[in-house]
Structure 1
């Protein structure tokens, strides 16, 4: 397989994975609706940065590390599960709060964007399953000695795919009609989204506990 084919195969597989609903989708869509389009796009950018970091780690042998060093994978699961549960609880607790005005001050917009960027990166990096998927994809497609330009092209390609897809999500959910529909059912939607994140977090923690060496 040529290096171009390897690049397209990995990027295409990552795109399919990104389009599958999960914690990242919940976070970006919720951020775009509850805060602003700008904050949603900042969260999408954070997803892209997190994906690029995973790509760099995968190139460095992330999959082999997580498989061989069991305690590292267990710790990754525990921390990731706790973070997702924390996000879920925050969304659940905010379910009864009113939807903020669509337009806020410039300073508030800037602060919300930076916060959303940081939360996007943290959410992407907190998912151990994403780490394993990236590692498995890279291990499956990369040859033993890949061409050096792939070490730059792959992280960039992953960044474009992750950030691009979640930017589309942010643009869709920050539009007027989805935002208005969300406002009418905010208390229900937030509780469902919060419960999903808490459930995913608890599942990761329980998986880590079950995998713990005896």
Structure 2
């Protein structure tokens, strides 16, 4: 396969994967509505950095390592599942608490927390590492030219951060935020249930034999 075609195929597959609903989408959407557009965009940057980490690990052969060292993959799945459950519990417990959405433009503390929170959420799912590794293994030439290797990480960042930036802008608009403030309790509990279910599924998959 031509290197340019391979690169476009990889980026196309990763774009579809990024747009698929999951805990990352829920987190960015909720952050954008509940906090601010600044925090949502910071979360989008966290997702982009997480994507670059997965891309780098895939290029280094993490996919082969995880498929050969079964216990390591299981440990990562359990750890990722427990983190998502922990995140769900935090959101659920805070569902009934009032929230102040006004944020000073100079206040970067909330944005910093959103960035690290999003990065941890992105990295908590080892299945994403497998997806990246599988796509790279299937579509990347055996000896890719240097320009492809140099292009992949920034392109992955643009895909992940770009998509979640769109999510952040959309969900931080006036109407979504007003709707959230009117129904914060049950919206937070729905988000917590979705994230918790994904974490539980991840942990149960690790415990399932075979």
TM-score of the alignment, normalized to the shorter chain, above 0.5: yes
Task: Give the corresponding residue for 2:84.
Answer: 84
Using the TM superposition, give the Cα deviation of residue 13 of structure 1 relative to its aligned residue in structure 2, in angstroms: 0.6
Using the TM superposition, give the Cα deviation of residue 104 of structure 1 relative to its aligned residue in structure 2, in angstroms: 2.5
1:132-147 to structure 2, matched below 5 A, reads: 132-147=130-145
1:166-213 deviations in Å (ceiling 9; x for gaps): 00000000000110011111111110100111111111111111248x
1:149 aligns to what SS in structure 2?
Answer: helix
TM-score (norm 1): 0.95
Decide whether the 8 Å contact of 2:3 with 2:141 is kept in 1.
Answer: no
In structure 2, how many angstroms separate the alpha carbons of the residues matched to 1:104 and 1:62?
40
Ranges in structure 1 where 5+ consecutive residues have no aligned partner: none
Task: Give the corresponding residue for 1:40.
Answer: 40
Pick from 151, 154, 165: which aligns with 2:152? 154
Supply the RMSD in Å over aligned alpha carbons. Answer: 1.2
Pick from 158, 162, 165: which aligns with 1:164? 162
1:38 aligns to what SS in structure 2?
Answer: helix
In structure 2, how many angstroms separate the alpha carbons of the residues matched to 1:155 and 1:104?
32
Task: Give the corresponding residue for 2:176.
Answer: 178
In structure 1, how many angstroms separate the alpha carbons of the residues matched to 2:26 and 2:93?
16
Ranges in structure 2 where 5+ consecutive residues have no aligned partner: none
1:5 aligns with 2:14: no
1:98-117 to structure 2, matched below 5 A, reads: 98-101=98-101, 103-106=102-105, 109-117=107-115
